[in-house]
């Protein structure tokens, strides 16, 4: 489901306070009224506000999850995971050389800002591990862009998602190869978490 298709659904009256029920993983019976969050990133599982945001969004946006509740450590009818499809690097700009001190040796370094888009979505799977729905969170077809900063003394950055450089000159330049020009996995998760909170806030604050 694309984000633009989500907007009409968000007009549905929705009010819920999630309780993350702890249920034994060894329970052989599926809990049909629950979806498990166990497959989400561990850093999100330590942040109740991110989980609450997901709880506010999913029952509104995904029909099979209406009137369902989330749980942890449970055998539920559905499971939720986050996927990052592709990162699109748009450009990279040198901001300025700034003073830098390392071990008593004063020098300067270039600070670099990279602008990018990326596709991410919440994947909903049933108990047979079949994907039944996708909820797009960030969409490269939208006008929204994201920024990360790095510098020439920083270790090479790593991004697990496939990365595409949208400018052939930038992709081929030694400058582009020398600097860490991709967002890290942790940064991508933080951007997604922020977007989830924004969507859930919109649901809470919309006019009746």
Per-residue pLDDT at 185 exceeds 50: yes
The residue whose two tokens read 């994907």 is 131
Per-residue pLDDT at 121 exceeds 50: yes
Per-residue pLDDT at 18 exceeds 50: no
Question: How many Å is the maximal CA-CA distance in the chain?
Answer: 64
Q: Cβ–Cβ contacts within 10 Å for residue 36, how many?
A: 23
Per-residue pLDDT at 200 exceeds 70: yes
Q: What share of the chain is helix, strand, coil (3-state, %, to 5)?
A: 30, 40, 35
pTM more than 0.85 = no
CA 12/CA 135 separation, integer angstroms = 17
Per-residue pLDDT at 93 exceeds 90: no
CA 180/CA 143 separation, integer angstroms = 24
CA 59/CA 37 separation, integer angstroms = 14
pLDDT attached to residue 199: 93
pLDDT attached to residue 3: 41
- Span 125-158, pLDDT tens digits: 999 999 999 999 999 999 999 998 876 555 567 8
């Amino acid at each position: 489901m694309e984000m633009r298709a989500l907007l009409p659904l968000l007009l549905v009256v929705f009010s819920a306070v999630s309780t993350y029920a702890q249920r034994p993983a060894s329970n052989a019976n599926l809990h049909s009224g629950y979806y498990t969050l166990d497959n989400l990133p561990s850093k999100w599982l330590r942040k109740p506000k991110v989980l609450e945001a997901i709880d506010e969004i999913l029952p509104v946006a995904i029909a099979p999850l209406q009137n369902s509740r989330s749980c942890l450590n449970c055998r539920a009818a559905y499971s939720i995971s986050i996927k990052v499809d592709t990162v699109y690097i748009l450009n990279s700009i040198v901001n300025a050389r700034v003073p830098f001190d390392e071990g008593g040796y004063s020098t300067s370094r270039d600070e670099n800002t990279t602008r990018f888009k990326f596709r991410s979505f919440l994947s909903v799977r049933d108990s047979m591990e079949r994907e039944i729905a996708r909820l797009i969170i960030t969409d490269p077809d939208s006008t929204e862009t994201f920024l990360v900063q790095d510098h020439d003394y920083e270790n090479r950055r790593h991004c697990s998602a496939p990365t595409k450089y949208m400018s052939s000159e930038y992709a081929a330049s030694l400058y582009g190869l020398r600097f860490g020009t991709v967002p890290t996995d942790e940064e991508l998760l933080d951007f997604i978490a922020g977007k989830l909170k924004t969507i859930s806030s919109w649901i809470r604050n919309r006019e009746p």
